[in-house]
Structure 1
């Protein structure tokens, strides 16, 4: 299988320094809120000289800053500009939000819109539960497709070959004792989700979290993303969630799909 990134890097249009700077920005996250130059080099695989130049440039532009005492780098609020533009201009988010908001009002539980990013799904819209929230999930958070309801719903709308290819590229990690990591069993779960019209996960990524997901498709039947409802184990059982929440979620996914009929997927499942 060809690597689209490797092919792009061979093009005279590819700006390597820009790619390295973006890799440095992407290296920051919940597990790495701050880093020094050595840590940046370790995480990105770039040499220290490249990291030093990239960090200097990003600091001069205002995207990262040094902590006064430790001299470690952190992202600044300006870094939000890079991703927030998408949230403000996405046609899918704009068309989905009214339906997602209504679902949130009806269920009073956390309702989310996610879109594919490689082998993950990314939260792009979220209406939080009216009740106590046990798990904070910010916009931009990425979760693996194979063990999440939204990811499985998205996979179920692809061809079996495309879904299998994504699972094969995934790093199959057991996040909890319930996480399914066997590719053949995951394929069966995806096939079942295709027949049911929705997918579920029961404490497979977060302990205490139950979720139901349904795919959003365009007029050609190609998946654009997925919606899901996440509820805590303290208030719900999987059986009750499937009986009560799944029908409402499927109706919402159909409404959004109708509103998004003319949209095209932004990424190809083959390339991520």
Structure 2
């Protein structure tokens, strides 16, 4: 006598196995019972929290076959435990030092040409500079650099580094830099007319920095060419600065020069 299985469900009606998908943050799924669609915010023991496009949160149980992913039934599961965390990085790309206190300021200093330069250096290299105890000040131009360097009197225990805009051979800035450079005073620069140009255009959503006719104020000309408010270049700069998240938003010609100055001022000769 033939033995029949007590399960008389036709094969095509039997539940088919479905994939298990880790509920990683950002994964967008739908709970079919309610039609609620949202991105995973967190996944805890037995539950998952979703956020819809209006920012509202809702908690659902982690049940087998409980969600739709791109129209397909899936089972959400808790993501595997994270492995060893990668070292945190500062905005400059250096390995962050958790809990590090700011070092007592060195006698050495880094001078930059203007306030905007100082703010950009602080935004990207601030954490590094505090760990190293390096203070950044600004000059408001380079015309008075010779007298400033003379008054500072750089030496083995008090090195001076200076960052200059538009440091191109043959220019006024280049001649001034040459006149003050010494064993304990280093003047470097980038080729840009203004520090604004050291920010990558792609980071600001523009095709490139416009050319401004000679004799016209560069910042004003740039704002007019790009349709930015030219009557308040300070506010425009603050908007630019907000788009700078790390060294990746800056041109290599600036990155190398700032790193060079930090190395020079923090060298054993200036400790």
TM-score by length of 2: 0.23
TM-score by length of 1: 0.23
Larger radius of gyration: 2
Structure with greater helix share of residues: 1
